[in-house]
Amino acid sequence: MPTLAQQHILLGISGGIAAYKAAELTRLMIKAGAEVRVCMTEGATHFVTPLTFQALSGNPVHTTLLDPEAEAGMGHIELARWADQIVIAPASANCIARLAHGFADDLLTTLCLASKAPLHIAPAMNQQMWANAATQANIATLKSRHIKLLGPASGAQACGDIGFGRMLEPEQIMQLLQADTSALPLNGVKVILTAGPTREAIDPVRFISNRSSGKMGYALAEAAQALGAKVTLISGPVALQAPPDVTLIKVESAEQMLNATLAHMPEQNIFIATAAVADYTPQEVVDKKIKKSATELSLPLKRTQDILATVTDRYPELFSVGFAAETHDLMTYARGKLERKNLQMVAANSVAGGKVFDQETNALEVVWRDGQHSFPEMPKRELAQQLMQLIAARYHSFKDIRSCVLN
């Protein structure tokens, strides 16, 4: 299921009595794996101190727009771009009014105007303020701009009134945020991956295979799904469980992997080929077990069809990512593969001395046409999450460039 893991959340806090609940919300977001930066209105700082949020989020808290020192750190536009989503909790009546009218007279409202990130607001105010026609008109304006409302709830209020206007509890806000996949970078994107080794049959009991465990491909499938993608995994024989909700197609040979990949290819957006596909397969599969007789046995092999090259040839508009396992000259081979197979990205790992296969950790050199990135050695699951973030970012810029060219 998609999560907030690795999401950049800008948490806006405005001046209401429920501001203290934002501390628990920050803690829950961090626990869910999000990176949180907090922006407080001046009003909010009278209810709770920025220090609380600095300690909880592990990042400096942003409070003023016209602060040269803050601009030298992470400026307001940079912060607006950094955010994958903005959540304002609590959102005061005043904050809601200023958002509805497009004000940019403090840091929080300026960030909201300057960011393309989806905006969620959790209103919190006295029931009469909530019911007021002015507030209701402002809420209607925000809804018409697809700003998402989290609550409010009904119940006893700090002022003694009872009615609508209470901020949702932090756990309820988290549930709604986690159920909303629209802010995830691969929301609506279809990703197909190949993973694991292939088995090329020699006779009914023997085969040629390799040491691939499929761990990297399965971790990438999980990471893609966590970013909101709809994932199809074409897998060779491995001892791994596919993440729930992934469409899993099990295959054995290189030929079966090619056929399954092509059958599921139409309408995919991203193709990631992590499988260690056999380059050669026996010319013939003997239908009875080969008996031990001669002192030597030769096994004529033939080339298998290259899955990656076949796919990129038939689907040149696809964002295709290849993996390269090399024992030497990593970058040279990776760049060569990028050009030769018309790929958008190549992730190369060193397999010198049997490294990588069936290991828990890995390091990668990733190249694309006008850039590259090195991932140091780390657990495969963590590496897959970071690589998937990079793939998502490159996919979006590839799509933007394509749509500029086509328009």
Ligand X SMILES: Cc1cc2nc3c(=O)[nH]c(=O)nc-3n(C[C@H](O)[C@H](O)[C@H](O)COP(=O)(O)O)c2cc1C
Catalytic residue numbers read: 159
Q: How far is CA 369 from CA 170, 344, 345, 366, in A?
A: 44, 7, 8, 11
Angle at CA of residue 206, ends 200 and 209, nearest 5°: 40
Angle between helix 50-57 and helix 21-31 axes, rounded to 10 deg? 10
Task: Closer to ligand X by CB, 18 or 364: give it.
Answer: 18
Q: How does 200-210 read in b/e, with b if 16+ C-beta sit within 10 Å?
A: bbbeeeebbeb
Distance, in Å, from the CA atom of 406 to the CA atom of 315, rounded to the nearest integer, reads: 17
Should residue 392 be labelled a site residue for ligand X when binding is judged by CB under 6 A?
A: no
Number of Cβ within a 10 Å radius of residue 143: 12
Task: Closer to ligand X by CB, 133 or 239: give it.
Answer: 133
Should residue 320 be labelled a site residue for ligand X when binding is judged by CB under 6 A?
A: no
Among 7, 9, 11, 16, binds ligand X (CB under 6 A): 16
Among 121, 56, 134, residue whose Cα is nearest residue 109: 121
Q: Give min distance, CB of 156 to ligand X, in A.
A: 13
Half-sphere exposure of 398 (CA within 13 A, CB side): 21
Residue 158: partners with Cβ closer than 8 Å, 6 or more residues away: 17, 18
Among 3, 52, 64, 94, binds ligand X (CB under 6 A): 94
Among 7, 26, 41, 194, binds ligand X (CB under 6 A): 41
| Rounded-to-10 torsion of CA 331, 307, 222, 178 | 100
Q: Pick out residues in 126-145 that bind ligand X (CB under 6 A).
A: 129
Q: Extract the tokens encoding 28.
A: 């829950």
Task: Closer to ligand X by CB, 166 or 337: give it.
Answer: 166
Should residue 324 be labelled a site residue for ligand X when binding is judged by CB under 6 A?
A: no
Should residue 44 be labelled a site residue for ligand X when binding is judged by CB under 6 A?
A: yes
Residue 144: partners with Cβ closer than 8 Å, 6 or more residues away: none
Should residue 95 be labelled a site residue for ligand X when binding is judged by CB under 6 A?
A: yes
Q: Give min distance, CB of 127 to ligand X, in A.
A: 11
Q: Give min distance, CB of 162 to ligand X, in A.
A: 15
Among 32, 43, 250, 315, binds ligand X (CB under 6 A): 43
Should residue 50 be labelled a site residue for ligand X when binding is judged by CB under 6 A?
A: no
Q: Give min distance, CB of 193 to ligand X, in A.
A: 46
Among 15, 118, 196, 282, binds ligand X (CB under 6 A): 15
Q: Could you tell me if 155 and 183 are in contact, meaning their C-beta atoms sit under 8 angstroms apart? A: no
Q: Could you tell me if 97 and 23 are in contact, meaning their C-beta atoms sit under 8 angstroms apart? A: no
Should residue 168 be labelled a site residue for ligand X when binding is judged by CB under 6 A?
A: no
Q: Could you tell me if 15 and 47 are in contact, meaning their C-beta atoms sit under 8 angstroms apart? A: yes
Among 56, 70, 117, 125, binds ligand X (CB under 6 A): 125
Among 4, 56, 124, 321, binds ligand X (CB under 6 A): 124
Stretch that binds ligand X, among 38-46, 174-182, 285-293, 372-380 (CB under 6 A): 38-46
Stretch that binds ligand X, among 86-94, 198-206, 292-300, 352-360 (CB under 6 A): 86-94
Residue numbers of the site for ligand X (CB under 6 A)? Answer: 14-18, 41, 43-44, 92-95, 124-125, 129
